[in-house]
Structure 1
């Protein structure tokens, strides 16, 4: 092994950040135990939120539905229907600025802004599918109560409010048609549903939705009899989509650098899993590791002086270095041309992304093992994946594929396939609204 790589491995091992000592089998069992505890209403770092959304029935064809997608930046509005070939047709598409992203607004202004956005499409359907990408408690009537907003969206007195109910009331107060059936779901659930219709002629044993971008989350289809904390479901036959809220998982093996970086974030002690692998935190975690490595002499003094001037390191900065290590990127310009800085830096990044891929493999493998689906390679589990970190990270996907094959395929004889679905959130919102 080259000496630079060995130096980095030894360094990360001292801080318990090495990926090699993570046992996938052992950690899958721990993840599954947390899933079961969450489903039964016992203490767990996985919320396992029942969505009350099912996929058991056939999608009605040629029936239009209003679809909404409230994201971190944009609020998208459209209508959608499925043609006779079951192909989703999106029409009347408009994208607006997400209310609350341009300064703090009142609850009244928030819902009135949304009402005005959807006013032009109200005539097209009595049904609304609303992808609301913020932590929300889904209610048995498939509406949703807001648990929290991100820092980018600021609305007074909205926490704890029921989203669909307030929107429909606002429409009626404005003299508009508020006599609608509305279904609230999050982006991970919408992604799963969008993937379900991606290949209508293919047979999959089950479906999983996976997000790895700014943050991370997972959802899957669970038997109702296992959702013991939901009285409305546990005695009812069939299946329901579960929002795992996997970003909050706290049982993954964290290292000393994880703990040090966690203290620098705005929410120490929360979303531990997300901070180990998602795009929002990748730059900060790797920057913390780099500073520690520089302090121990793995990087040159000249590198340290230049790196100390960088106020923030992003996932894009890391990718820029990986693609163009000898360019004028932020990290490249810190490296000494004569020494081993670039090589040491590469191995630090490579090892931390390798660990992230292994953790994601644990997350996804645990779900397949829990539900017992994917044992027939001709009918794999369909994992619809979305997110910039999943698709744009130079190193991540190949590493994930390796662990999926090595552990899930070769050792456990379970099979899955990753797919990407265009406009998954809008299409998923349409499916949820039409079927539920």
Structure 2
């Protein structure tokens, strides 16, 4: 076993992909430098102002219409909160996301959204829209779509104002009353949900963190530090959507660079392409292909593995969870091979996942430190984390917690608690609409 592990580590070191070679504190330093640049102007980390504030109280009993769009499905509901911040979700429905079943134009896209909520709008005072696609936000809480992702095929919507067009479609369908729309993404919604989910605990600050198909974080920043915007009230704070998956200076290995060069947007979202659930299967696939060419496996195992094609993140992760489950494509391929080959594959995938956990912890730690909160054990930071990759990948949450402890100690010690909240996008969108 030790021989197999040593061979894997030597191979990964040659490819500049070895987890042990990631310098945690240096990575955090580079990450935070990009965050500072992003607050002042151009940076690989966009640091997008959301104009959403967190100081305002939630009015009990008031209902808002909520839309959650960020994947294959779109969810709608009426949401309110009682005086103890317990959510009341009514008329919950799930629909296909427009554009996931073939291309649709701008008019059809917004007309479909309007159809989904036309009977709910008269019952809600505002509309909270969790819209989890790259969006430029405006002071009126509306947002202009930059570009769809996640296989949504609506190119005519690129560059369009989301709330404004939704209201125009509602008006065409006969609803003419005034309604405000608050646009936010799932990371911001996750932060807001953490704020109301633990009423008996005292937190010094709140952070939202997503680690699933993609990676992102957000925190509350003083307006006085957002130098790229003019005319803000320095006495107020707003949530900053970091878009941390776009971090441009992560410690890329040779295989990372090769993968990035073959994507549709080379040079962008470098961190996300190294670690997230949407890309990890590709990282493993390319690393395995290189390992086969470098004779890391026996000739027999090489023959069994070389025609597998692109592996999914689930294929790779399932092998770590149970390397004896023959329903897994990798287990099946190595069924009759020597145990040393099976160990090599395990150590190869495991080290890549460990490196992903290290880099994910650097992004989270950088966000923690940038928030300036969590300096007292009496008022820890509430880190509300969402994403199936974070919670269900092989020992991933445990690894991130371990590396966070390594980073956030000594002079940079911070106190925090990692929490998870169900239905974060729905509830967070409601909170944003009720308090902004």
CA distance in 1, matches of 2:255, 2:387: 25
Query: SS at 2:209's partner residue?
Result: strand
CA distance in 1, matches of 2:351, 2:191: 30
1:194-209 matches, cutoff 5 A: 194-209=193-208
Aligned residue for 1:170? 169
How far is the alpha carbon of 1:411 from its aligned partner?
6.3
Say whether the 8 Å CA contact 1:191–1:386 is kept in structure 2: yes
Tell me the residue number matched to 2:117.
118
Moved over 4 A (4+): none
Residue in 1 aligned with 2:287? 289
CA distance in 2, matches of 1:284, 1:173: 45
The aligned residue for residue 54 of structure 1 is 53
Q: Deviations over 1:324-375 (max 9, x none)?
A: 2022111112224324111111111111111111111111111222232111
- Whether the aligned pair in 2 keeps the contact of 1:171 and 1:178 (CA below 8 Å) is no
CA contact (8 A) 1:194 1:424 kept: yes
- Equivalent residue, structure 1, for 2:256: 258
Equivalent-residue separation in structure 2 for 1:26 and 1:338 (angstroms): 40
The 8 Å contact of residues 222 and 240 in structure 1, kept in 2 or not, is answered as: yes
Report whether the alignment pairs 1:302 with 2:300: yes
Aligned 1:201-240 pairs, distance under 5 A: 201-233=200-232, 235-240=233-238
Change (3 A) 1:71 1:371: closer
Deviation of residue 151 (structure 1)?
5.4
Corresponding position: 1:179 with 2:171:
no
* Distance in 1, Cα, partners of 2:278 & 2:402: 24
How far apart are 1:187 and its partner, in Å? 0.8
Measured after TM superposition, the shift of residue 186 of structure 1 is 0.6
Structure 2 partner of 1:145: 144
- Report the equivalent of 1:95: 94
1:374 pairs with 2:371:
no
- Seen in structure 2, the aligned counterparts of structure 1 residues 178 and 251 have a Cα distance that, compared at 3 Å, is farther
Query: Which residue of the other structure, out of 297, 310, 315, is the alignment partner of 2:313?
Result: 315
**Structure 1 match to 2:418:** 418
Cα 1:332/1:140, change in 2 over 3 Å: same
Q: Conserved in 2, the CA contact under 8 Å of 1:57 and 1:435? A: yes
Match of 1:272 in 2: 270
Alpha-carbon distance in structure 1 between the residues aligned to 2:92 and 2:177? 20
- Say whether the 8 Å CA contact 1:168–1:178 is kept in structure 2: no
1:154 match: 153
Query: Residue in 1 aligned with 2:337?
Result: 337
CA gap 1:232/1:314 in 2 versus in 1, 3 angstroms: farther
Superposition TM-score, scaled by structure 2 size: 0.96
- The secondary structure found in structure 1 opposite 2:279 is helix
Shift of 1:57: 1.5
Q: Which runs of 5+ in 2 are unaligned?
A: none
TM-aligned CA distance change 1:349 to 1:382, over 3 Å? same
Write the distance in 1 (CA, Å) between the matches of 2:236 and 2:342: 54
Report the CA distance between 1:410 and its aligned residue: 5.6
Cα deviations across residues 231-269 of structure 1 (Å, max 9, x unaligned)?
Answer: 142x43121000000111111110101111222323222
2:21: which partner in 1?
21
User: How far off is 1:403 after superposition?
Assistant: 0.8
The DSSP-based 3-state class of the residue aligned with 1:231 is: coil
Deviation of 1:169 (Å): 0.9
CA distance in 2: counterparts of 1:267 and 1:422, whole angstroms: 33
> RMSD across aligned C-alpha pairs, in angstroms?
1.4
Moved more, 251-260 or 154-163: 154-163
Which residue of 218, 227, 244 maps to 2:242? 244
Q: Deviations over 1:168-204 (max 9, x none)?
A: 0111122124520110001110111111111022111
Deviations 1:141-166 (A, max 9, x none): 10000000025111242111100001
Distance 2:198 2:25 in 1: 32
**Deviations 1:400-423 (Å, cap 9, x if unpaired)?**
111112221466321221111110
Q: Aligned to 1:208, what secondary structure does the other structure show?
A: strand
Q: Distance in 2 between matches of 1:192 and 1:321?
A: 33
Task: Give the drift of 1:19.
Answer: 1.9
User: Conserved in 1, the CA contact under 8 Å of 2:51 and 2:238?
Assistant: yes
SS in 2 for 1:10: helix
Corresponding pairs, count: 434
In the alignment, what sits opposite 1:404?
A: 404
Counterparts of 2:56 and 2:150, CA distance in 1 = 38
Deviation string 1:103-143 (CA, Å, 9 cap, x unpaired) is 11111000111100001211212211100011000111100
Helix, strand or coil for the counterpart of 2:183?
Answer: strand
CA distance in 1, matches of 2:409, 2:423: 30
Q: Tell me if structure 2 keeps the 8 A contact 1:122–1:177.
A: no
